[in-house]
Amino acid sequence: MTPSQTVTHDGRGSRIEQPEYEALLRRVTAWVEGPGERWSERIEADGEVPGELFDELKQNGFLGLAAPVALGGHGLSFSQWMGLMEVFSRSHASIRMLVHVINGTWRSMNPHASDAQRETYVKPSVAGDILVAFTLTEPDNGTGADISCSVRREGDTYYLSGRKHLITFGVSCDYWLLFARLEGTSGKDGTIGLLVDRKAAGVTVEDTSNTMGVRGTDHARLTFDNTPVPVAQRLGEEGDGLAIALGGFLTPSRISVAMSCVGLAERAQQLAVEYAQKRVTFGKPISSRQAIAFMIAENEADIEAAKALVLHAAREWEDDSPQASALSSMAKMVAVDMLTRVTDKALQVHGGLGYWKSEAIERVYRDARAQRFEEGTNEIQKTVVARDVFARAAQAASAASTASEEAK
């Protein structure tokens, strides 16, 4: 897809004109409600994402919507992309995951890629020609500067050893976008970002995809034993690993996950409303019962409030606001809690029937639970927000003290 017209947008990509965007939004909505729903049924039945679905997403141009035109993407602004993510998230969680990941990993790679790497990895990823799995989380550590997966360098080759787990698309990918540290170092300055070939020697891949929800998305546990990785497959410089992993990727990705909570909550609400209108007790639809109507009303307000915060965070990130990082954590924290409440009430509206796999709300309810740890738990988000609040309070106190001294 090639946008008919784009304009610059504060250094955060481009923005397509509104009529074109509205047409794209209608096309995505029609796909989600039609073919996407049929794919969802097949994924749940088979427990896997078929290759034909990936091909269909690629052919529709859905895997490169968020990337700049220069990388082969559609050139949407981030806020525009969030509008589409809201719709994709009403579909099966594995469909949302594919679209979310592929429309986001370029943000991590591109700022640190050489021209050759951009042609070899970034553009093919945007095009859907290769699948790159974000590979940070480890079984024995948190997710950050305490990573222990390590490399030692011999000439033009790194030798990688260590373990990773909970790696989405880690089984079926073409490359792992992997973060490790230089042997013998500690802290962020020793971290490194590598593109590791899925077929590299010395790798044991264990499929750990048997999850409660998000069926069909593969997850891997990886063990590396002196796996050779050419230095040419390093992104940026030695010491840039944590910046590559978190810098241009984590903030927009958290906002995107928050919007996926909004979209999934909207789907749960839609199912609850439809059921309430058709289910009859004592001669009346249960939508006329105050207990049911109040749950629907609470859900609606909950969804709208969370959506407003997510869109505010998205606009702040677009404008390169210093508050964007904290706002991304606020948005994810609020949206996840909202999703928990909404899906619980939506299932309750269905009564006991909602617990059966014959009802779509059962899948939505299971899928919603995964959002509580994607891109960091709420406990992590609260830590980020609190740190920001106290830092701003300290800055304000310092500024007030300086002003007081100057006034004397």
Distance CA 253, CA 166 (A): 17
- β-pairing, 132-135 vs 175-182, is parallel
Tell me the CA distances in angstroms from 372 to 5, 49, 117, 230, 295, one per residue in order: 38, 22, 34, 36, 22
Distance CA 235, CA 238 (A): 9
Calculate mean pLDDT across residues 327-354: 97
Q: What is the pLDDT of residue 65?
A: 94
Distance CA 195, CA 180 (A): 11
261: helix, strand or coil: helix
Distance CA 92, CA 90 (A): 7
pLDDT in tens, 124-144: 999 999 999 999 999 988 767
Architecture of domain 8-104: Orthogonal Bundle (1.10)
Candidates 3.30.830.10, 2.40.110.10, 2.60.40.1120, 1.20.1250.20; CATH matching 132-239: 2.40.110.10
pLDDT in tens, 189-236: 899 999 999 999 999 999 999 889 899 899 999 999 999 999 999 999
Distance CA 131, CA 123 (A): 11
pLDDT in tens, 381-397: 999 999 999 999 999 99
Residue-averaged pLDDT of the chain: 93
Lowest-pLDDT range of 13-22, 109-118, 249-258: 13-22
Calculate mean pLDDT across residues 78-91: 97
Rg (CA), the chain: 22
Distance CA 148, CA 150 (A): 6
Q: How confident is the model at residue 322 (pLDDT cuts 50, 70, 90)?
A: very high
Beta bridge partners of 6: 16
Confidence check: pLDDT of 100 > 80:
yes
Q: What is the pLDDT of residue 12?
A: 63
Q: Which amino acid is at 291?
A: A
Q: What is the pLDDT of residue 385?
A: 96
Percentage of the chain lying above the pLDDT 70 cut: 96
Q: What is the pLDDT of residue 8?
A: 35
Residue ranges of domains in the chain? 8-104, 132-239, 249-396
Confidence check: pLDDT of 6 > 50:
no
Confidence check: pLDDT of 2 > 90:
no
Considering the candidates 238, 362, 374, 375, report the single residue annotated as catalytic. Answer: 375
Q: How confident is the model at residue 342 (pLDDT cuts 50, 70, 90)?
A: very high
b/e per residue 275-295 (b: at least 16 CB within 10 A): bbeebeeeeeebbebeebeeb
Closest CA to 267 of 186, 194, 363, 354: 363
Q: How confident is the model at residue 86 (pLDDT cuts 50, 70, 90)?
A: very high
pLDDT in tens, 252-276: 999 999 999 999 999 999 999 999 9
Q: How confident is the model at residue 7 (pLDDT cuts 50, 70, 90)?
A: very low
* 155 token code pair: 């000439």
Beta bridge partners of 178: 135, 194
Confidence check: pLDDT of 14 > 80:
no
Percentage of the chain lying above the pLDDT 90 cut: 85
The question of whether 375 is a catalytic residue gets the answer yes
Q: How confident is the model at residue 408 (pLDDT cuts 50, 70, 90)?
A: confident
Candidates 1.20.140.10, 1.20.120.420, 3.20.110.20, 3.20.20.140; CATH matching 249-396: 1.20.140.10
Q: How confident is the model at residue 13 (pLDDT cuts 50, 70, 90)?
A: low
State the pTM of this model.
Answer: 0.92
Note whether 388 and 325 are within 8 A (CB): yes
Q: Which amino acid is at 154?
A: E
